[in-house]
Amino acid sequence: MDWLIAILALSALVIIHEFGHYICARASGMHVHRFSVLGIGPVVLRLFTYKGTDFVISAIPFGGYVQIAGMEAEDPEAPAEPVAEGDGESPLFRDKPLWARLLAIFGGPLANYITAILIAVSVYAVAGINYPTGIKVEGFGAASPAQAAGIQQGDVLVSVDGESVQGFPQSTKLNDLTAPRRGRTVDIVVDRAGELLTLPVALADAPRALGVDLSFQSEYTAVPFGEALASGIAFPFKKTAEQGAALWAMITGERAGRVGGPVAIARAIKGSADRGVLDFLMFSAFISTLLGMFNLLPLPALDGGRLVFLFYELIARRPANQRAEEWVHAIGMIGLLGILVYATVGDVRGPKTVPWDETVQNYRSEMAKARRELDLTDGEAPTGGTPPAATPHPAPAEVP
């Protein structure tokens, strides 16, 4: 049942993204040929038609797309003479003013960010904000430097060389403190049954610097509605900044990570559902943010890549060559599909890591077992994981 919930949740977030494109295109007077609510590629099932738009399911069950009339230089589905809608204006994308085209492309990510805000505000207003309360030692690896220094199971980590380990995500905060100090001796303060102890620990010069299994503790704390509203609005932008920094660190080699695909994302959503409805909702808000964030990256075939061409038109005061743009997006689509295949194979055959899961989860004690299975210790959370695998964009005329 949890797997079904995970798949439905991910599909719903993709549909919301595509609906953002659809509603903004329609609001701008554009005709939409097709809305694939599930999948890309050839149509396998026509669900219904609404105001001239075919709502369909497509062959490759990843993501979805909205096909707007007039996005191709030669649109085979466009009428020879543009059919005016209501006010007599052309319904084709290319005939619309720049602001309308920008809105139609930006509508997908905007819908994801609005969804994340609505979920976060609702959870914060009803249940409170999830604050970190501590990092507990659950066990030790082989030849653990922490165990050798006298740290015991059940100890709660307080600080490293005088710097607090508290932060959210706590795993990232701890990693930021230990990674630069690998191979050195540091003073770690632990809380042992209410008593603060300072223990010198000789960190290993390796990823398992402390050699411990950890659980990340947190709890929801009630807050005034004003604070819930402000924090909920800030949620997707805060996560965008955090994950943008994590992605950059992975690109530059400062942090290890691997690309995760739709299987990893569904697994992460299932994990959040296992931890309860609040974790599930907040993780869904997080994934919605990632979908919007990734699609805004200035890469061919993504919304961000299309926005680059529109901003070029804004600055140069003339549109880019449409044929050239279509080729750029087509090549980009091939690259994204390659990443999708690579990530999916890695999800199935590789270690069961999840994309950025630890940024929003409740960090309950069962994480200790999961971290042992994943061989992730000392706060080294998995980074990477690319939502695009869940929302790859289709052919040049289609807006994912």
pLDDT tens for 199-238 read: 999 988 877 788 888 887 778 889 999 999 999 999 999 9
What six digits make up the tokens of 5?
């919930």
Q: Which region, left, alpha or beta, applies to residue 269 given φ > 0 means left and ψ of -120 to 50 means alpha?
A: alpha
Instruction: Please give the biggest Cα pair distance in the chain.
Output: 80
- pLDDT for residue 243 is more than 70: yes
Q: Are 265 and 392 in contact (CB under 8 A)?
A: no
State how far the Cα of 7 lies from the Cα of 247, in Å rounded to an integer.
25
Give the pLDDT band of residue 85 (cuts 50, 70, 90).
low
Residues 6+ apart with CB under 8 A from 89: 29, 95
In this predicted structure, the answer to whether residue 361 has a pLDDT above a threshold of 50 is: no
Is residue 123 scored above 90 in pLDDT?
Answer: yes
pLDDT at 101: 94
pLDDT value, residue 224: 94
CA distance 400 to 48: 20
Instruction: Specify the 3-state DSSP secondary structure of 222.
Output: coil
Whether pLDDT at 352 is above 50 = no
In whole numbers, what is the pLDDT of the chain averaged over residues?
79
The pLDDT tens digits of the residues spanning 253-277 come to 666 555 666 777 777 788 787 778 8
What the block records as the tokens of 229 is 């509203």
Contact 260, 386 (CB under 8 A): yes
For residue 181, the model assigns a pLDDT of 86
The reported pTM is 0.73
**What three-state secondary structure class fits 188?**
strand
For residue 16, give every residue at least 6 positions away whose Cβ sits within 8 Å of its Cβ, in sequence order, or none. Answer: 111, 112, 115, 288
H or E segment and range at residue 232: helix 225-252
Q: Which of the pair, 100 or 377, is modelled with greater confidence? A: 100
The residue behind tokens 């000392």 is 378
Name the least confident of 34-38, 279-283, 305-309, 395-399: 395-399
Average pLDDT over residues 75-95: 65
Are 65 and 20 within 8 A, CB to CB?
Answer: no
What one-letter code names the amino acid at 188?
Answer: I
Write the Ramachandran bin of 202: left for phi over 0, alpha for psi from -120 to 50, otherwise beta. Answer: beta
State mean pLDDT over 288-307: 90
The residue to which tokens 């380990």 are assigned = 165
- In sequence order, the 6+-apart residues with CB closer than 8 A to the CB of 398 are 34, 36, 40, 65, 66, 67, 71
Q: What's the CA gap between 190 and 29, in Å, rounded? A: 62
Q: What is the mean pLDDT of residues 100-111?
A: 95
- How is domain 131-221 classified at the CATH fold level? Pdz3 Domain (2.30.42)
Structure token digits, residue 328: 């750029």
pLDDT confidence of residue 213: 85
